[in-house]
Every structure is written in C-alpha cells, then in structure tokens.
Structure 1
Amino acid sequence: MRKIIFSKLLVPILIIIIIVLGSYILIKGNFKEKVTNENQATSPIAKESTAPLLIDKSLYEEKTYTDSTKYTTFKVTYPQFKNASAGFNQEIKNLVMEGIETHKKDSEDTWKIRYENRAPGDTITEFPKADEKFDFSVTWKPAQANAKFINLILTISGYNGGVHGYATLVSFNYDVAKKKEITLADLFPGDANYLKTVSEFSRKNLEAQFGKDLVVSMLNEGTMPTEDNFSVFTFTPDTITFYFNQYQVAPYAMGVSKVTMPRK
C-alpha cells in the first residue's frame, strides 16, 4: 500500500522539481545576459569607441626628402593633409623646402671658408668625408588631425658649423570646416586680455620647471604678453600647449621648453 501511495506522490513532486529547476535556469541566464550587457556598456573599450578621435592617420600622408649633397645630408619628413586646403599644405611644404635650400647654401659656404682658410699642415679636404658632412632634419608631431581640426609641431634642426647645432619649432593650426588657419586669439573668444592670462600662467609654470636654473631676465622677456612669444602652440579640446624655442626663456642648455595650460 505504501508503495502505491509513494508512486502517486512521486509524479507531482518530480513535476514541481522540473518547473523549479527550469525557472532557475531561465532566471540565471537572463541575469548573466544583463550583467554582460552592462559590462560591455561600461568597459574602457566601449568608452574609447565613443570618444572623439584626435588623430586619424587616414587623413594625411607623409612626404620625405633624403637627398644629400657634397656638403650635407638630409632626413626630412613632413605631412600633407587630405582634408586641408592646397594653400595650407603648400605653406607647410614651402617652409620645409626653404629650410633645405638655406641649409644647403650655408653648409657649402661654411665648408669652403674652412677649406680656403686652412692652416699649413691642416688635413681638411676640399669636400667633407661622409662622416664630416653637415646634417639637416625635419620631424613633425600632430596634436590633432581629424575631421574638425589640424594642429601640429614641426621641428627643424641641423648643424652647419659653429659651437653646436640648432632646433626650431613651428606650429600649424587649422580649422577644417572653415578652411582657415587658427590664431591663439580664436581660442579665447571674447577675452581681450587673453595674452595676459597666458603670460602669467606660463611664467609661473616655467619658474617651477626651471628651479635653481632659472634666469629671471630671460624668462620675463620670453613670456611677456605678446603674440610673438606665444606664436608656437597646439591645442586639444581640453588643453593648449605652448612651446618656447631655444634662448627664448632659458639658456641653450635648457633646450626647448613647454607649458600645457587647461582650457576653460
């Protein structure tokens, strides 16, 4: 009798167990899917995909110049942008090519003077050996190169005699939509005293950078609130970076100086 009763009770119990297990599996699966979706929505990769792209390499191509002369070698790289005007690209190219031609002439003139004024017994040859040639290089670094803005630093450096070489930084800033170059004043709309603000911030920042190596007269002169002193700059949505060439705010040994200022 007990056996029969047990068999009758077993069927409903099994049905209840199956229903409970099925509900548990279904709920667990939905929970996992929800957690996965939440994780995907907040993962760093997902955030990056929605962040603005500052540098799009598909929008520019690099040009090179590596020809050498009897007196100097060249290692030059500069950009040309697909979404900029022909005039803007030509301005970059012209600056580079002018630098190359000037360096060619200066190097030749310097070596010829050395050769023509050589002392008796001096082993200098009419043309420099491969390891004696002067050098010239151009590199560049973008802060932005996208569908809205182009801004970059071009570094022109070389050696053509003298105690040491040189390096000069030049910036280019361009509004893609308006097809025009951007001035520092454009980044401070409605602020007639922007140069004073920039000057005070830069001077204080550089004082902290230089410490005991600070030369007050050079720093004060090089950070006076003039357009020329702050003509080399790049920017992003959050910051403006100012570059100060050799001798502008510090002695040659200090190299090029840089100050990054938050945008309000």
Structure 2
Amino acid sequence: MNQKTAFLLTSLFVLLSLACNVTFTFGVPTPIAPPPTAVIPTATPLPLSAQVTLISQPYIETNQNPPFTITAQTPQLTGSSDPRVQAFNQRLAGLVQKEVETFRANFLQNPNPPLSGGSSLEVTYTLVHQFGEIWSLKFDFSFYSDGAAHPGLYSLTLNYDLAHNRELTLGDLFLPDSNYLEAISAYCIAELSKQPFFEGPFTEGAQPTLENYRNWNITPQGLMITFDEYQVAPYAAGPQTIIVPYTELHAMLAPSGPLADLIK
C-alpha cells in the first residue's frame, strides 16, 4: 500500500468516525426539563364582617298584675361561629337584657290595680353605620310607667371593632392628650345655641365631659352625638342630635385609629 492510498484510507476512516459521532449525537434525544410545579392561588379569606348578616331577635313579655308589656328587638349576627361574633352577640344581648330587667323590676312595684292603662317598654335599634370591621349601633328605649304624666325616651349607643373583639371608647378615635372633648363640645354648643331653648341649666348638658358625650355614633359625615330628653332641651323639644363633621376634628383623629379608613 503506497502512501497515497494509506492517506486516503485514513481520511475516509476519520470522516466515517465523524459521521458516526454526528449520527450518534443527533440520535440521542435531548432531555426535556419537567414543567414547573403549578402554583394554585390561595383564596383570600373574607373579612369577618363580610361573612355575617345582622338580624333582629324579637322579644315580648306581658304581665297582668300589675299590667305591663315589654317588647324588644335585639340585634344579632349570623353566618359565622367565630368567637368574636359570639362575643359581640353576647354584648348586644346583654345591653338589651340589662335594661329590660331594670324596667321589669320597676314595673312590678307599680300599683295594682293600675292608675292608668299599665306600663310599657319598647326597645328598638338602628345600625347607624358599618364599615370594614366597625359596627356602630344606637338603641332607643321608649317607656311609660303607670301613672306618669307622659312617656319617656332615652338612648344607648355601642361602637364595636369586630376584628379586634372590643368595644370602642370615644378616646380610641383620637390622638393621646388631644382636647377632643373640648372640640366636640364647642361645636355642639355652637349648633345648639341656634335653638331658643338652649339656655340656663340646659347648657350644662353639653359641657365637655365623658358623661355628656356618652352617646355617640360613627357616620360617614361625622360623629353623631345624641343628647337625651332634658339633657340640653326641655321635654317638648325631645332628644337632640348633632353631627360633628370630621373636618372639625381631623387634626386630633388618630391616623391609624378606627376611623383611619373612613377619613382618607
């Protein structure tokens, strides 16, 4: 075999080897990476207040000797067994029950036979506002005691943070050490002064004390203050209600307090 033939055979061998390598390389399938694990989105739980419905539980009680009638509507939340809901319901029921028991005890002391047609108590409520997890309710107690000159009416309010399971105080809405009572009182006095009956001893009922401003509710427009009969006006004028705009209180409101979402 001459050199030329040897060279040709060697070249052919190299070419065949390369061809085999190429064929081998292309003949092996390229590994396919497994698909990424699918991420199943987690449902965002509804706020607690969005899971519940407010209903009324009626109550009626009658007595013959001495005669009286008690009717009441008690607000209750349904739709959740969360302990916070149960605690709120207990607070609502307890508020109504306490007043009913007090009136029942008083009515049982009335003369028998009655001096007039007997005694009565009617308990109603209003959901003044609910936003986020905050619930603001107002209870009205309309009553007549046998032999009295006329019926009476007074109110109680309840403002509650359902998420944190606590009843709100007026001070919870404001910055520490702010003169919020003075500001609320000044606005209410200015509004009440527009009425002819607001004079003399009635002005004492609007002075800046927690007792005078015990009945307050949250509304979209401002704080609603309720003054009971005789507090700032004679009986004939009835209870008085003043809404203090948030703009009057904005500088004192706690920026991360219960009203934060309402006043943005």
TM-score, normalisation: structure 2: 0.66
TM superposition shift of 1:57:
11
- Are 1:175 and 2:171 matched, yes or no? no
| Equivalent residue runs for 1:1-264 within 5 Å | 59-70=53-64, 71-82=67-78, 84-112=84-112, 126=113, 132-161=117-146, 162-190=148-176, 192-208=178-194, 210=195, 212-219=196-203, 221-263=204-246, 264=250
- 1:176-227, CA deviations, whole angstroms, 9 ceiling, x for partnerless residues? 222211111122224521111011001001111x2x22223312x1111111
Cα RMSD of the aligned pairs, angstroms, is 2.4
Q: 2:212 is paired with a residue of what secondary structure?
A: helix
| Alignment check: 8 A CA contact 1:232 1:243 kept | yes
Q: 2:111 is paired with a residue of what secondary structure?
A: helix
| Alignment check: 8 A CA contact 1:147 1:176 kept | no
The structure whose residues are more often helix, as a share, is 1
| Alignment check: 8 A CA contact 1:63 1:77 kept | yes
TM-score, normalisation: structure 1: 0.66
TM superposition shift of 1:262:
0.9
Q: 1:63 is paired with a residue of what secondary structure?
A: strand
AA aligned to 1:202 is C
Q: Distance in 1 between matches of 2:114 and 2:209?
A: 45
Q: 2:109 is paired with a residue of what secondary structure?
A: helix
Aligned to 1:51: none
- 1:212-248, CA deviations, whole angstroms, 9 ceiling, x for partnerless residues? 22223312x1111111111101013431100001111
Residues 57 and 135 from structure 1, CA distance in 2 versus in 1: closer, same or farther, beyond 3 angstroms? farther
| Alignment gaps of 5+ in structure 1 | 1-54, 113-125
| Alignment check: 8 A CA contact 1:241 1:261 kept | yes
| Alignment check: 8 A CA contact 1:138 1:157 kept | yes
| Alignment check: 8 A CA contact 1:150 1:176 kept | yes
Q: 2:159 is paired with a residue of what secondary structure?
A: strand
Q: Distance in 2 between matches of 1:58 and 1:146?
A: 13
Q: Distance in 2 between matches of 1:169 and 1:138?
A: 10
- In the TM superposition, structure 1's runs of 4+ consecutive aligned residues that sit over 6 Å from their partners are none
Percent identical residues: 26
| Alignment gaps of 5+ in structure 2 | 1-48, 251-264
Q: 2:142 is paired with a residue of what secondary structure?
A: strand
- Over alpha carbons, which structure has the higher Rg? 2
Residues 164 and 223 from structure 1, CA distance in 2 versus in 1: closer, same or farther, beyond 3 angstroms? same
Q: 1:230 is paired with a residue of what secondary structure?
A: coil
Q: 2:75 is paired with a residue of what secondary structure?
A: strand
- 1:16-35, CA deviations, whole angstroms, 9 ceiling, x for partnerless residues? xxxxxxxxxxxxxxxxxxxx
| Alignment check: 8 A CA contact 1:56 1:145 kept | no
- 1:80-113, CA deviations, whole angstroms, 9 ceiling, x for partnerless residues? 124754333222212222222222232232123x
AA aligned to 1:241 is M
- 1:152-175, CA deviations, whole angstroms, 9 ceiling, x for partnerless residues? 100012111321222110000011
